[in-house]
């Protein structure tokens, strides 16, 4: 595909009287790790959901290539903050179930999973039930699940939250390897140091607006600060609003898709780890 993978043009999202996002214009090009950085309630989770096609914007358009992103979900891999693995299934069974929903054969999925499982040091655990998995092991399994169908863009929502140092480093290393191989990753985090380590481009979101967009060096030049932390504070000096991103009543399609992404489909609800 030539040109941007994902284009957001004049995108806004409101929840009742609250403007969660106000006129977002972005182009996501291939071969980059793009960080979405912002505090709780900034709007970055809403932005991720819009990019994933889970939510529809109140105004504006979101295109994957030249098509509506909501029709191109098979091109996206999503790792939500809650992994939603089925504890009574093995890691591989969780991944295989997800891949079959995308129409991917078991052989193709296994080849892809084996490739990345070795990098994540989880190969020996693919046949284990996920009930006893640590937070790090669940997160690695969720990453494999998102990569098994060969997505063009990987969307990660706080992928290292709650992980130990070694697991977090392994996840960051894999993200860097994906970029080096031409992959595209959108990486949501509220840790500036992590964004600086991992991301080629940082988008700062605050109170529903994009405050800055560029490489770490560009952000420093823009603000005249000597550290990324100081640059962030300078760009987000106005008081943060209360979190209102989750106030909208979900539609049937959005609810089904959320359950699909987190492993909470009705027929297997009883065995979801979050129940």
Which residue, 143, 147, 181, is CA-closest to 163?
143
Give the Cα separation of 103 and 136 in Å (integer): 28
Which residue, 79, 56, 82, is CA-closest to 68?
56
Which residue, 23, 7, 26, is CA-closest to 58?
23
- The verdict on residue 268 lying in a domain is no
Residue 35, classed as helix, strand or coil, is strand
The answer to whether residues 54 and 233 touch, using CB atoms and an 8 Å cutoff, is no
What's residue 111's pLDDT? 95
Domain that holds residue 119: 6-82+89-262
What's residue 273's pLDDT? 45
Taking the model in full, what pTM does it have?
Answer: 0.82
Into how many domains does the chain fold?
1
Which residue, 34, 53, 24, 39, is CA-closest to 245?
39
What's residue 257's pLDDT? 59
- The verdict on residue 240 lying in a domain is yes
- The verdict on residue 267 lying in a domain is no
- The verdict on residue 34 lying in a domain is yes
CATH assignment of the domain containing 50 = 3.40.50.300
The residue ranges of the chain whose pLDDT is under 50 are 245, 266-275
Q: What is the pLDDT of residues 173-221, one digit of tens each?
A: 999 999 999 999 999 988 888 898 899 999 999 999 999 999 999 999 9
- The verdict on residue 111 lying in a domain is yes
- The verdict on residue 174 lying in a domain is yes
3-state helix, strand, coil in the chain (%, to 5): 40, 25, 35
- The verdict on residue 1 lying in a domain is no
Q: Tell me the β-bridge partners of 63.
A: 7, 68
* Phi-psi map region of 229: left, alpha, beta (phi>0 left; psi -120 to 50 alpha): alpha
- The verdict on residue 145 lying in a domain is yes
Give the Cα separation of 186 and 159 in Å (integer): 11
What's residue 137's pLDDT? 92
What's residue 244's pLDDT? 52
């Amino acid at each position: 595909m030539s040109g941007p993978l994902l284009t957001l043009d004049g995108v806004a999202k409101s929840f009742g009287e609250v403007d969660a996002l106000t006129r977002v214009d972005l182009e996501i090009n291939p071969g980059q790790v793009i960080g979405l950085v912002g505090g709780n309630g900034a709007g970055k989770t809403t932005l991720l959901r819009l990019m994933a096609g889970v939510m529809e914007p109140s105004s504006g358009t979101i295109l994957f290539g030249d098509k509506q992103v909501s029709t191109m979900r098979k091109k996206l891999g999503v790792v939500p903050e809650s992994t939603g693995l089925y504890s009574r299934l093995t890691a591989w069974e969780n991944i295989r179930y997800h891949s079959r929903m995308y129409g991917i054969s078991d052989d193709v999925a296994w080849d892809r999973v084996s490739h990345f499982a070795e990098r994540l040091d989880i190969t020996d655990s693919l046949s284990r039930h996920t009930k006893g998995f640590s937070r790090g092991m669940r997160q690695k399994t969720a990453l494999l699940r998102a990569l098994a169908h060969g997505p063009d863009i990987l969307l990660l929502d706080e992928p290292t939250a709650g992980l130990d140092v070694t697991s977090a480093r392994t996840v960051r290393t894999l993200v860097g390897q994906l970029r080096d191989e031409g992959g595209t990753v959108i990486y949501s985090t509220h840790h500036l140091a992590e964004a600086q380590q991992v991301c080629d481009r940082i988008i700062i979101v605050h109170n529903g607006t994009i405050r800055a967009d560029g490489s770490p060096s560009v952000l420093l030049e823009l603000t005249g600060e000597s550290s990324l932390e100081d640059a962030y504070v300078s760009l987000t000096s106005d008081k943060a609003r209360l979190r209102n991103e989750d106030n909208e009543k979900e539609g049937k399609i959005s609810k089904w898709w959320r359950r699909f992404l987190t492993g909470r489909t009705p027929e297997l609800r009883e065995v979801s780890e979050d129940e």
